[in-house]
Amino acid sequence: MTRTAESAPSAQHRLRRIEGRHNALVKELRQAFARAERTEDGSCAIEGLRIVEEAIRSGLRFRAVFFKESAQNLAERLLPQIGANVDTLLLPDKLFDATVPTETPQGVAALVRLKEFSLADLLERLQVGPIIVLAGLQDPGNLGTILRSAEAFGSAGVVLGEGTVSPFNSKVIRASAGSLFRFPIIVGKAAGGLEEISAKLRAQSVRLIATSSHKGTPLDQANLTGPSAVFIGSEGSGLPRPVLAQADELIAIPHTAQVESLNAGVAGSIVLYEAARQRRVQ
């Protein structure tokens, strides 16, 4: 007998059918998706088979898992990997579809608890790579891309400054491809405003580097090997002037004049790759 066949009865037995939208856990899931925020107990809403499997692989603590009635086969696949003390709910298709944000949901969602980090945690990881500080980044895809690149190429962590899109936005989670679950991230309120963040980093002898779309030291000539923090601004207006004024160096990625500027996610990824390249050849 295969593992799937053996586990199917127990998986089905664990499912608790919920009919109404006023169930407390269903309400929490819906609100967490709608607000792109953590719940009161610190849980984050995630959705989709690949994302849930990444959460399992990343060792996250599950609070509850929700399955769509027509996708009960996913319960047989996932529940053997999830602790028996986790709430597991089965929702009618219409209720599930109304609760999650995607237009064509795969049939599984969950409330999970992410790890929390402090600026001190990031400072202890500076040997891994630069700290990335994002100021006013609005596009979820750009943020998810930067998180994924930061994990892939090496970074001490990412600080999300004021005005930056929430990392708990479902599109950010999807674009990060699981990096959000494993990688050190600090949301602005926990770290302070951009000027306060800059002051804290400078006090720890961290070099402040600001990115620009047009002027500054060409990226391949900049020194990214020491303890540093790279500031990346919003897609439209870039970095605020006070941040630029505090920077130790301004860097730019050379590109043809026909291209006005690079996508923030692409630019951040190129900077992270260059920092990793410099560390390898040191």
Give yes or no for residue 8 having a pLDDT over 60.
no
Angstrom distance (rounded) from CA 211 to CA 217: 9
- In this structure, the answer to whether residues 149 and 271 fall within a common structural domain is yes
- In this structure, the answer to whether residues 105 and 123 fall within a common structural domain is no
Residue 94: exposed, middle, or buried by beta-carbon count in 10 A (0-12, 13-18, 19+)? exposed
Q: Burial code of 78-87, b = ≥16 C-beta within 10 A, e = fewer?
A: bbbebeeebe
pLDDT band at 99 (very low <50, low <70, confident <90, very high): very high
Any idea what the CATH number is for the domain that residue 173 is in? 3.40.1280.10
Boundary-marking domain end, from 113, 144, 171: 113
pLDDT at 241: 87
Angstrom distance (rounded) from CA 22 to CA 26: 7
What average pLDDT score do residues 169-182 get? 96
Boundary-marking domain end, from 87, 113, 139: 113
- In this structure, the answer to whether residues 125 and 62 fall within a common structural domain is no
pLDDT at 6: 47
Q: What is the pLDDT of residues 126-157, one digit of tens each?
A: 999 999 999 989 999 999 999 999 999 999 99
Boundary-marking domain end, from 97, 113, 129: 113
- In this structure, the answer to whether residues 80 and 214 fall within a common structural domain is no
pLDDT band at 123 (very low <50, low <70, confident <90, very high): very high
Which residues have C-beta within 8 Å of that of residue 209, sequence separation ≥ 6? 130, 222, 224, 228, 229, 230, 231, 247, 248, 249, 250, 251
Angstrom distance (rounded) from CA 16 to CA 182: 30
pLDDT band at 2 (very low <50, low <70, confident <90, very high): very low
More confident residue, 78 or 213: 78
Q: What is the pLDDT of residues 16-44, one digit of tens each?
A: 999 888 999 999 999 999 999 999 999 99
What average pLDDT score do residues 255-259 get? 58
pLDDT band at 191 (very low <50, low <70, confident <90, very high): low
Structure tokens at 29: 């899931």
Cα Rg of the chain, angstroms: 21
DSSP state of 216: S
Any idea what the CATH number is for the domain that residue 49 is in? 3.30.1330.30
Angstrom distance (rounded) from CA 219 to CA 200: 25
Could you list the residue range(s) of the whole structural domain that residue 66 is in?
A: 3-113
Judge if pTM exceeds 0.85: yes
- In this structure, the answer to whether residues 142 and 273 fall within a common structural domain is yes
Query: Of all residues in the chain, what percent carry a pLDDT higher than 90?
Result: 74
